[in-house]
Structure 1
C-alpha cells in the first residue's frame, strides 16, 4: 500500500468524537483533519511529523529537520516541492529548527487562536521563552509572541507572507542585511506580500553559472517580529528572528557549485543542465531526484 501515490485512512470514532481523515503520499503522512488540539508545549502540529530532538544545555533546541541532500515532499504536478527550512532565534540563539513540507504553513505561538485558518495544513509553533535567563528579554519576548501570527504560502513559483495579528513583521534577504542596504519592508496586516520569486532565482543562478554575475543568488529570507532591521544593530540582537531557506534553491545552488568545481578541475563543462536552463527544467530534474 505504501507504494501508492495517495491513500486515505478513515478513523470513524464513536458518535461523540469527531471524524478524522488522514492522507498519505508514498507511505508518508501529509495531512490530517479532525482529532484534538495540540498540547501547549508542542513545537509543531500535528505531532505525527518526525519526532523532535533536543540538543545543547539550558534551553533546548527543538529540531525537526531530516538531513536531506534531496528533500522530498508532496507538491503539485510539475510544481516546486514546498520544502522550507525554518529556524527560530531569540536574540541570536537558535531555539527551533524545522523543515516544513507543505505549501501553506502558519507561524504562531498560541495553538488555539481565532486567527489560525481552519484549513491550515502545517503549524509551526514558536517555542516558549521561559528558559531565557534575562528577565527583561523573557518578558518582552513573551509579549511579542502573544500577538504573533504569520501565514506563509508557496504558489505560482513564488512565496507569499501575510501577517495575521498585531505584532509587526519586517522582512529582508540576507545579503541586504549584510551590506546594510536597509529599506523598511513591513508586512501589512491581512495583506499578502510576495517575499520570494523562484523564476528570478533561476535567472540569477543561470547568470552566476555562466559568469555573467559575480555573486550567487540570494535565497535566504529573514523575518523580524516586533522590531525593525537597522544598520546600527545586527540581526542577531533582535528578540525574535526567523530564517527561511527554500530547499529547492539550496539544492540547485549547491549543485551548480559542485558542477562548477568539477568542470574547473577537468577542464570541461560537465553540467547536466542545458546552457539556457529554465525554471521548468530545474523543477523537472529536481522532481526526478525525489522518485
Structure 2
C-alpha cells in the first residue's frame, strides 16, 4: 500500500480519537467504522468553523491551506472525499450514512489489510513486497524493443503542424475547422466564468492517488509530464493555458512501475487540453499515446471511448447533469456524478478496472459537485421545490437555471447528450 494511504489512515484515526471534531466519531465498539460529519454550506445552521473543521484540518495537513488563505470549504471537502473514496483503507457504508437529517453524516469502514490483499492486486502494489506484476499489455511497455514495436502499443497519429505555420490563439486551438467562431464555448465575464471554469483534477498511478489540483483558468489548461519544450510552441497549445504537470513517477514505490510510467510519459509530451465552461467540459488530445475516457453516466457512455488526436470532444454536459439532478431531487433518479475518467496508454473496460491501470486522471466539475452536495443535504427540506443555495453559488447565473429545473413541473428524463463524437479539425 502506498505511503499516502497509510498517512491518511493514521491521521484520520488520530483525529477521531482526539474528540475535537464535532460529529467525527466511531460508529461501533470494535472501532471498525466511523462517522464523519457531512453538512453542506447551504444549510441555514451551517457553521464553517465547526462543520468544515475536519476538512480544513486535512487541507492544512496536506499543505493545501494555511491560515490567512481564502477559505474554500467546498474544495476542502472535495479533497478529503476524493482521498477517502480512492484509498484502499476505506470503504463507504452507504446503508449507514444519513444525509437527509439535520446533522448529516457519512459512515466509512476501515478495510483490514488482509481483506485488501485478498482483492486483485492493482498495478503498483505487491503482496510480497517484490516487484509489481505486469499485465501482457504492460510488459510491452517494459520490454526494450525497437521503437516500431513499442509505438505499435501506443496509437500513432498524423504528423504535427509544420514549423512554418503561423501562431494561433487559444480560441483557435479550441475551434474545429468546420464550425464558426460563435460555436466555440465561451465564458462570459464575472463570477460566472470563475465558477464554471473550476475543475478538480486527480491523478492515480496503479490505483493510488498521487496528486490533485483545482484549476480555474477561463481558457483551460494543458496536462502533460513536462512544460512545453519551446515557448509559443504550436505542438503543445497556446501559452495562455494553465500548465499542469503529471505527478513525478518517482512517487511510485516499485522501480519497475517507475520505469514503465516514465516510458509512457515519453509518449504524453504534448499532453491534452481541457476547458470547462457553462456548457460542460471539453478535451483535445495532442499526445501520441492513446487516451480513453468514460463519462459519469454508463447509459450515455456504456463503454470507454477513444479520443481521436486533435479532435475537440465534449466529455461532460452541464445541461444533462442538471436535468438528472432535478430528477434526483424529486426521487426519480440516482444521484448523478460530475466526474469523468481518463485512461492513458491502455484500454479499460469499466470503472472497476481502473485500479490496474498505469495512469488514470479523474476530472470533476466543481460547481456541479457543489450543487449535488447541496441537493443531497437538502432533499428533506425541499418540499417547496425551491432549494436554498450557498451565497457564492446562488450569485452565479447558472443557479437561476438550476432553480427553474427544480420547480415542480413535469420532469423531463435526462437524455444522453449526443455531441460527444469527435469533431475533426
Interval of TM-score (by shorter of Structure 1 and Structure 2): 0.5 to 0.7
Do residues 112 (structure 1) and 228 (structure 2) align? yes
Q: Distance in 1 between matches of 2:252 and 2:208?
A: 10
Instruction: Give 1:89 deviation, angstroms.
Output: 0.8
Structure holding more helix per residue: 2
Whole-angstrom distance in 2 between the partners of 1:232 and 1:87: 15
Q: Cα RMSD (Å) of the superposition?
A: 3.4
Contact map agreement 1:223 1:241 (CA 8 A) in 2: yes
The answer to whether the Cα contact below 8 Å between 1:84 and 1:99 also exists between their aligned partners in 2 is: yes
Residue number in structure 2 paired with 1:217: 336
When the two structures are superposed, what TM-score results if normalisation uses the length of structure 1? 0.64
Where 1:152 maps in the other structure, the secondary structure is: strand
Change over 3 Å in CA distance of 1:237–1:175 after alignment to 2 = farther
1:230 and 2:346 matched: no
1:195 Cα shift? 0.1
Q: Is the 8 A contact 2:204 2:359 kept in 1?
A: yes
Q: What is the TM-score normalised by the length of structure 2?
A: 0.45
Change (3 A) 1:143 1:53: farther
Give 2:291's match in structure 1, choosing from 145, 169, 180.
Answer: 169
Helix, strand or coil: the match of 1:112? coil
Unaligned 5+ segments in structure 2 are: 1-58, 76-186, 390-395, 404-425
Distance 1:67 1:143, change over 3 A: farther
Taking structure 1 as reference, are residues 262 and 97 closer, same or farther at Cα in structure 2, changes over 3 Å only?
A: same
Other-structure match for 2:318: 198
Equivalent residue, structure 2, for 1:92: 207
Q: Taking structure 1 as reference, are residues 142 and 182 closer, same or farther at Cα in structure 2, changes over 3 Å only?
A: farther
Alignment pair present for 1:241 and 2:360: yes
Indicate yes or no: 2:198 matched with 1:83.
yes
- The residue number in structure 1 matching 2:216 is 101
1:210 Cα deviation from its structure 2 partner: 1.7
Give ranges in structure 1 of 5+ residues lacking alignment.
1-51, 56-61, 287-291
**For residues 44-98 of structure 1, what are the alpha-carbon distances to aligned partners after superposition, in whole Å with 9 as ceiling and x for unaligned?**
xxxxxxxx9885xxxxxx8689872456xx9634455311100111101111110
Answer yes or no: is the 8 Å Cα contact 1:153–1:160 preserved in 2: yes
Count of residues in Structure 1 that have an aligned counterpart in Structure 2? 216
